[in-house]
Structure 1
Amino acid sequence: MLLHRLRAPAVLLALALTALPAVAQTPMEDPLDARDARRVDRMEKVVRELRDIVFKAQRTGAPVVVQPADTDARMAELGARISDLEQSLTRINGSLETTGHELELAKRENEALKVQVKDLTDRLAVAEKAVAPPEPPEPPAEEPARAATPQEAFTAARQLMLSGDYAAAEQAFAAYVQDYPEGPRIAEARYWWGKTLTVRNAHAQAATAYIGAIRGWPQTSWAPDAVVELARSLVALKKPTDACQALAELPKRYPKAPTTVTNRAAATRTQAKCAA
């Protein structure tokens, strides 16, 4: 802002300014173009304002404040607004960057949660299987009628096995072993009993039955197969060392064992990883 204090010489300036309108109104030979006309109008407006300022200073003797042009004020205002807009854009860009970073973090957390949910789902499925109620046991087969003699009991049990009714045959041979522990065919009954137990993967009971069948190494047609079946049951029970010991006795006790039996013995020896 420019401050002007006007003194006595201002009177001379006022007289000069009062003469300017007369000169400006003197007709000229060539007309002014529109731009020059606007420029003259602005000059006349400025002169009138200066004259008013001078007369006011003469009357009051107070200092006069000359205000800046309206255009400069507006330019300053527009500059301030532009500066505010730039600051606002800077804040918005910062907010967008922060939001993008937060979205990326949220995406990663979401993927991690998906993995955790899947893991928990798998664990829950395993737990549900572990606590699932066991299947109800099969109803026991009807106990066959007791035979009058040991031979009749053995024949009846053998017929049940030949017909494919292994459950009934298992009970029949178990009954023979219990009822006739000194019967003439007790060893063979134990052998066939072990066969029925092997069918339903009762390997521990089957091994016990086979051991009772080959006690004393009987010289019968079924004895070599009983040795192999004993070894197979021991392998199933995770006892390969005992299985290898039983197989080692096979060629000693039964050197004339059938080829089918020796082939099965070789396969079982490989399964048990017996030493050569």
Structure 2
Amino acid sequence: MTVLASAGPVWSQTPMEDPLDARDAKRVERMEKVVRELRSIVFQLRDTGKPVVVQPADTDARMGEMAVRLIDLEQTLRSLNGSFESVTRDADQARRENIALKRDVQSLTERLAALEQKLAEINAPPPEPDAPPQAAAPGDPARDFAQARQLMLAGDYDAAEAAFAGFVETWPDASRTPEARYWLGKTLTVRAAHADAAKAYIGAIRGWPQTPWAPDAVVELSRSLVALKKPADACQTLAEFTRRYPKPPANVASRAAATRTQAKCAA
């Protein structure tokens, strides 16, 4: 009796082991979840009579699906980045080619203008008949003009410049002084003295004379203004050219159009 009494308290203090460990508990929880889903499916089929689409309840499967989509998105993003880089390179190349093309066009325009100027000088109207030199009195304006013009036709532009400048100074009121200023401007243009050339052309076209050389003098003035980096003044001069000389010679009209493009005049 004494032994039994002492053994009783020892047995009552020993804890009982949990029959379910942590893994078993998780399994039971998943089974209960599956049972709840099956019951829901059975009740839904009974109530609606429609086929039931069972969606996977496993979180791991959903996470795997999301991972696959994320990989696809990353690949698409890399592909788009590659396409953008290619487009950017193509745009840069096109921009460089456009700049080079503009330079070529400008160079071609300048060369064409120079050729047209030479052609205009070759096709310039011949001087009006002057009295024979031997019949002219000393210091006769007709003789001086003819001599200056002859020097220019011979290609001696330096001597022609001096001769026309002397004519303008000596005969400021002669009938051919405006034309002398025009040819003086031509000689100055040849050696790129654009500021002096512009002054000569302005003196030549004062009053907008209706002479064969006047339209060309206006175009030459516009070209000098472009060379002096005064495109606005050049465009204004060309607008007046169109109004004052509506039917200029074809070669003069062509050079006026080229100058208008070079000065970037508004249409």
TM-score when normalising by structure 2: 0.48
TM-score by length of 1: 0.47
